[in-house]
Structure 1
Amino acid sequence: MGSGRAADSVRARYLVYFQYLGTDFNGVAAVRGTQRAVGVLNYLEEAAERLNSVLPVKFIISSRTDAGVHALCNAAHLDVQRRSGQPPFSPEILTHALNSHLKHPAIRVLQSFRVPSNFHARYAATSRTYLYRLATGCPGLAQLSVFERNRCWALRAERLQFWTLEFESQSFLYRQVRRMTAILVAVGLGALTPTQVKVILESRDPLGRHQTRVAPAHGLFLKSVLYRDLEDLAAQNPACTQQESPAPLGAFRPETSSAKAGGLESCLQ
């Protein structure tokens, strides 16, 4: 009987852009079973249950993020099957419905688009951009503004200054951005020499066996995910394509510096 209802229903696929502060989550992926940890998708899928789809709604994410990592804009596709005679939701209604039923204040759906039934949020992505935020000149975590805690990596230096490193590629290895950031910081602090970095690069070690330094998760933000065949959609979504790096949020008003890096090699030239 259930299969008959599914056959008669109308299925629509959507691309959904969403953002979150990752502090409270065990990453973006849903956590199954009896574990106390929870992922961002646990809340999104719970909200999607209220759409009354004939079949359960699953979010297929573009980019996985680890526990504590934030997203200014992540993306996922999902299918919603309404019962026979009911038209597909408009993207605007879908966005509003998901936000209305979300039960965590650190998650928000930014925008939705109707996409072809064969669209895949992960495999169709042509570019992903990450930001890593550093705060230098902070004697200790207690001296950092409460609004900045869990949103940047605080380092000791002469005066308080915020830096934003930006990394863009079609895809990244596991913890690649955090490892690259840790290398840059180590060179800046004098803990590594350019010669040692060259040895690490030439090792071609994707699992990081020769480079165990990893920057903390809470300084990392997924900034945007782009799709070549959907440039017209991206152009309509300034929340993802024109999102600036997060500005300092606390009472301090330091200068903000930025450095772009397509790879570690370009940073060291």
Structure 2
Amino acid sequence: MMRNWARYLIFFQYIGTKYSGAVKVPPHQLCKKGVQDHLEDAIRGLKPINQVSLSISSRTDTGVHALCNSAHFDLQRRNDKPPFTEDVLVKALNFYLSSEQIRVNRAHRVPDHFHARYRAQSRTYVYRIALGTGHHSLLPLTESNLCWTLRNTELDVGAMREAAALLVGVHDFSSFRAVNSDMPFKSPVKTLDVASIQRGGSFAQSHFHREIPFWELTFTSRSFLYKQVRRMAGALVGVGQGRLSVPQLKEVLEARDSLAYPQALTAPAHGLFLTRVDYKETDLQHSPQTSCSGNSED
């Protein structure tokens, strides 16, 4: 392998409000760019010899946020210069990203066969809900476009947890995926390892003029179907609101049909965060930290 060539895995965060999802936007589409477009522009700022191509592990939708997404790319430097160290690479990329709501958390040099998407062992999403706030203008500014605001002052959390338990395990999640072009090529059978409902919080909680109850719905799986997390979150909130019973949610799951999912229940994008992408330590080279939390999951 050439001395000036290296493959890197980067972990990065972004506020998804102004971006057209995580992946790049086709050149002919006159709309806002994807996070990948800006990351690739930043890599080009390093003036590599090779063509820049980023492979993202998790394709979040328009408006969805991430505290930890990941991607790999190859970089060959000019004039036989040695590969960037990981710390220098992070600082350089963040310099070029300074005008965007995107930041690289850290980088790892990885083996040349490593693939950020296919080597990922699990992905974790957290869906955030704020109660008793019928409009986003009632939230502290620190929460604007970062949670789903509900008029409800309470949810039936017990029923939500009972419904969430039905989703855990190996299931055909056809009812919880939205129609897209990938449908014929992806199996609807997924293993959901975690579906939990816990109290959440806000940075401004102790400083704001009124108390706002926050809840977090957490989902972990090796992979998810298109809009599966938002549909599961919306269905669980529907149970908490009394709009959907636990037996009805079970019927939706067992129908294995996208059309069986109740209309208008899908949770909005702006409450969703990708919070972890985990890898096996053995798949990385000289990298003691393998996830955004510093832990690996097999």
| TM-score in terms of structure 2 length | 0.73
The alpha-carbon deviation at position 47 of structure 1 amounts to 0.9
Equivalent residue for 1:75? Answer: 70
Deviates more, 1:29-38 or 1:72-81: 29-38
Equivalent residue for 2:246? Answer: 194
2:31 is equivalent to residue 26 of structure 1: no
Aligned-partner residue type, residue 225 of structure 2: L
Equivalent residue for 1:210? Answer: 260
Equivalent residue for 1:10? Answer: 4
Aligned-partner residue type, residue 23 of structure 2: A
Equivalent residue for 1:236? Answer: 289
Equivalent positions of 1:99-138 (< 5 A) are 99-138=94-133
Equivalent residue for 1:257? Answer: none
The alpha-carbon deviation at position 108 of structure 1 amounts to 0.4
Equivalent residue for 1:247? Answer: none
Of 25, 32, 37, which aligns to 2:32? 37
Q: What secondary structure sits across from 2:260 in the alignment?
A: coil
The alpha-carbon deviation at position 49 of structure 1 amounts to 0.8
Contact 1:127-1:170 at 8 Å conserved across structures: yes
Equivalent residue for 1:4? Answer: none
Deviates more, 1:15-24 or 1:32-41: 32-41
Equivalent residue for 1:152? Answer: 147
2:218 is equivalent to residue 166 of structure 1: yes
C-alpha distance in structure 2 between counterparts of 1:125 and 1:190, whole Å: 36
Structure 2 unaligned segments of length 5 or more: list them: 155-211
The alpha-carbon deviation at position 22 of structure 1 amounts to 0.3
Distance 1:232 1:158, change over 3 A: farther
C-alpha distance in structure 2 between counterparts of 1:219 and 1:233, whole Å: 35
The alpha-carbon deviation at position 121 of structure 1 amounts to 0.2
Aligned-partner residue type, residue 27 of structure 1: G
Work out the percentage of aligned pairs sharing the same amino acid. Answer: 47
Q: What secondary structure sits across from 2:236 in the alignment?
A: helix
Q: What secondary structure sits across from 1:125 in the alignment?
A: coil
Equivalent residue for 1:251? Answer: none
Q: What secondary structure sits across from 2:117 in the alignment?
A: coil
**Residues 188-234 of structure 1: CA distance to partner in whole angstroms, max 9, x if unpaired?**
111111121111010123xx321142100000000010011347877
Aligned-partner residue type, residue 236 of structure 1: Q
The alpha-carbon deviation at position 82 of structure 1 amounts to 1.6
C-alpha distance in structure 1 between counterparts of 2:69 and 2:287, whole Å: 12
Equivalent residue for 2:229? Answer: 177
Contact 1:226-1:234 at 8 Å conserved across structures: no
Deviates more, 1:208-217 or 1:108-117: 208-217
Contact 1:14-1:78 at 8 Å conserved across structures: yes
The alpha-carbon deviation at position 102 of structure 1 amounts to 1.4
Q: What secondary structure sits across from 2:118 in the alignment?
A: coil
C-alpha distance in structure 2 between counterparts of 1:8 and 1:234, whole Å: 21
The alpha-carbon deviation at position 142 of structure 1 amounts to 2.5
Distance 1:196 1:233, change over 3 A: farther
Contact 2:279-2:290 at 8 Å conserved across structures: no
The alpha-carbon deviation at position 32 of structure 1 amounts to 2.5
Q: What secondary structure sits across from 1:201 in the alignment?
A: helix
Equivalent residue for 1:50? Answer: 45
The alpha-carbon deviation at position 154 of structure 1 amounts to 0.5
Contact 1:9-1:84 at 8 Å conserved across structures: no
**Residues 48-71 of structure 1: CA distance to partner in whole angstroms, max 9, x if unpaired?**
111111112211000000000000
| TM-score in terms of structure 1 length | 0.81
Q: What secondary structure sits across from 2:143 in the alignment?
A: coil
**Residues 50-108 of structure 1: CA distance to partner in whole angstroms, max 9, x if unpaired?**
11111122110000000000000100000001235211111111111111111533100
